[in-house]
Amino acid sequence: MELSGIQKIIEKNGTHRSALIPILLDIQDEYHFLSRDALACVAQTMDIALVDVYRAATFYKYFSLVPKGEHLIQVCLGTACHVRGAPGVLNEIQRKLHIKPRETTEDKLFTLETVNCLGACAMGPIIVMDEEYHGQMTVSKVDKLIESFKKHEGITKDEQDKKH
């Protein structure tokens, strides 16, 4: 992680204490996680105790202290989605990507998370990929959805299969 990029984010948002969350959000969006060096840089530049920056970074679920993939997959396991087959969808994603929830694929392309509710119960089971909702998800739709994101990244199915 390049600290000059962190400095630019801080300059954009300002060094007032109220800018801490917007700064962390911008760093998370840019680098897909908050490294210890980034947190230390923010603390030093903003003249805030590192423990306070760390406290903010660990309070919100959106923030991650470990690298995430380019694409975030969130599977809703709320009651409505659960009874409509979300566990099977989750299992298929895990099988397809060879990861469990809160893990990232080796190629850093996908991170898998589970959530309790996405607020779209009528569309369940639902997954969100990169903030795009995909409703009435089924096990048979998982492969097509993941492949569409791999194609967008320029990875063919044959290349991906060779990695696993």
Cα 138 to Cα 34: distance, rounded to the nearest angstrom: 33
Mean pLDDT score, 12-41: 94
Residues near 98 by beta carbon (within 8 Å), at least 6 away in sequence: 105, 164
Domains defined for the chain, CATH in brackets: 3-59 (no CATH), 71-163 (3.40.30.10)
pTM: 0.72
Cα 82 to Cα 14: distance, rounded to the nearest angstrom: 43
What per-residue confidence (pLDDT) applies to 134?
Answer: 95
pLDDT tens-place string over residues 42-94: 999 999 999 999 999 999 888 999 888 889 999 999 999 999 999 999 999 99
